[in-house]
Amino acid sequence: MRYISTRGGMDPATFSEVLIEGLAPDGGLVVPETMPTITREQLEAWRALDYHSLAAEVIGLFATDIPTPDLTAMVARAYSTDRFVDDAIVPLTQIDDDVSLLGLSEGPTLAFKDIAMQFLGEVVEYVLQRKGGTLNIVGATSGDTGSAAEYAFRDKDSVAVFMLSPKGRMSDFQRAQMYSLTEPTIHNIAMEGVFDDAQNHIKALAGDLDFKRRYRLGAVNSINLGRVTAQIVYYVWAFLRLTDALSPEQRESFEFSVTVPSGNFGNILAGHFAKSMGVPVRRLILASNENNVLDEFFRTGIYRPRASENTYLTSSPSMDISKASNLERFIFDLVGRDGLRLREAWAILDASGELDFSDHKDALRDIYGFASGSSTHDDRVATIRETFEDHGVLIDPHTADGVKVAREHLEDGVPMLVLETAKPAKFSEIVIEATGKDPEIPEHLQYLLSAEQRVVEMANDEQALRDYVAEHALL
């Protein structure tokens, strides 16, 4: 398996090479040269596997340059019950006859990002040990990526993490998880502005090849393809668990739809890849909050990112994003995997502030299977309350966005799955508003809220970030 850039300016490279690089040298995002396929027969052969064994099989389709025994050992560590509290790693919970939840928040930071990040921590360390050297990860978080990355790399001596977060735009628990870490290789930076500002600075540093190479920069945001490949696994797992009780004949014609709360498009991109590979996903339904740029795109075909000052501060803050990095990977497919057309489209986007794919609007739904919807604070509160009072299931606000939108896209005979985003304990304020119940923080994490916090505050300034990274990078 080799990897190329969406913008066509990169020689094909191996999984290990693109894992460390993050952004492609031409500024594009890395994608498989050809997408692997999974047959129904292969799915059936995987049915009896536990989660980490399935992960070795699926990720192994992409990481073909890593020997199978090494990859198997890595995923066994990443998805162990020492790190995930549920024995299934990714449990399936039925809310009612129409909607089920895929439990992605059983890891160390109580968010779905742990699924990909625990694997990434293992595989990045593995690659560095074999090629030598160090890596300085520079990332941006709107809430959950930061803590997931820091917990995955906090004990890796050859890796430092520089994590930008928008000052004042995360929950108390999210801040406590990140800022309480004391390892000298963990650098938390609270930057003025919004997530999109931080993400723009990260891309600027990654696009400066001299700076990137001098300070050995890497990425763990969902621009890193290693994260997306790890997320494909739970779409395969979901199909297997949804069909365990069915007969072979029923499995043959089975389809399911998935609703994904989405800000940066990485989580649902993994679903698009899974569907492209042969997992029988009928609809991929994107759920957004008031920052509904992606909802507008999938309804109209027009992609119109907002300026950072027009990004709303909402009660589902991990989705307060108005410029989705991973959309470029999907647009690459939409334009026929043509790097020149992709570059031309992005030049139009940079010049005009929007892309008009309205002539592809029908294809978005009929060929690629996408649909979308959005949710407001009042929707979120009502959905959390109804899901708890009527079904006894307590959910976080992002998952609530997903459940609300999922119910708008139900089809007879098609099971609907919502990807859980985080534990409600991370967002106690809105959960209390909705239910009157203060969500319980797991006992082993209760100390975080009173722990001393360590964070550097920084202006919304690219040069300030460059100077800080240059001063503190591992070399």
Catalytic residues: 113
The answer to whether the beta carbons of residues 90 and 103 sit under 8 Å apart is yes
Backbone angles phi, psi at 315, to 5 degrees: -90, 5
Q: Which of 429, 424, 421 is CA-nearest to residue 442?
A: 424
Listed in sequence order, the residues at least 6 apart from 47 whose beta carbon sits closer than 8 Å to its beta carbon are 240, 244
Distances from the Cα of 39 to the Cα of 100, 217, 277, 315, 367, angstroms: 25, 38, 8, 41, 19
The answer to whether the beta carbons of residues 285 and 295 sit under 8 Å apart is no
Distances from the Cα of 452 to the Cα of 108, 280, 382, 448, angstroms: 19, 48, 35, 8
Q: Is 68 left (phi over 0), alpha (psi -120 to 50) or beta?
A: alpha
The answer to whether the beta carbons of residues 191 and 167 sit under 8 Å apart is yes
What is the secondary structure of 295-357 as a DSSP string?
Answer: HHHHHHSEE-PPPGGG----SSGGG--SS-TTHHHHHHHHTTS-HHHHHHHHHHHHHHS-EE-
Distance (Å, rounded) from C-alpha 187 to C-alpha 205? 16
The answer to whether the beta carbons of residues 262 and 288 sit under 8 Å apart is yes
Cα-Cα-Cα-Cα dihedral sign, residues 8, 233, 426, 136: negative
CB 68: neighbour CB atoms within 10 A? 12
Listed in sequence order, the residues at least 6 apart from 399 whose beta carbon sits closer than 8 Å to its beta carbon are 101, 261, 418, 419, 420, 421, 422
Distance (Å, rounded) from C-alpha 291 to C-alpha 317? 10
CB 411: neighbour CB atoms within 10 A? 12
Kind and range of the H or E run holding 221? none
